[in-house]
Amino acid sequence: MGALDHAGVAYWDGRPFFRSAAMDDWLAAIGTETFRRAPFSLGVIGFEVSVCTSASAMAGRLPQERDIGYLLPRVEVLHHGAANT
């Protein structure tokens, strides 16, 4: 949040736990750039995401309803499924 403040990005949109689309998109961009240099099997974005799922449990598919964001590679292309609930 400090980096977004410093950059002048308005990120808080009233959602609980300081969740915002701007913050999630910023973290997804960092994850996407990281994936280019060091591929990973699953990235999760949001509040309290530890042990929420695994790449094998997702079986290459993004859930339709997402309370967190996902970065999920399929055939060497990283797909971002933003939180939508």
* Averaged pLDDT, 55-67: 91
Q: How many helices (H) and strands (E) does the chain have?
A: 3, 3
> What was the pLDDT predicted at 12?
73
- For residue 68, CA distances in Å to 24, 37, 59, 63 come to 9, 24, 17, 10
At 15 the pLDDT is 64
Q: pLDDT band at residue 16, thresholds of 50, 70 and 90? A: low
CB 34 within 8 A of CB 40: yes
Structure token pair of residue 78: 């990283």
CA pair distance 10, 33, nearest whole angstrom: 22
The average pLDDT across 31-49 equals 91
Tally the C-alpha atoms within 13 A of residue 84's C-alpha that lie toward its C-beta: 9
pTM of the predicted structure, to 2 decimals: 0.77
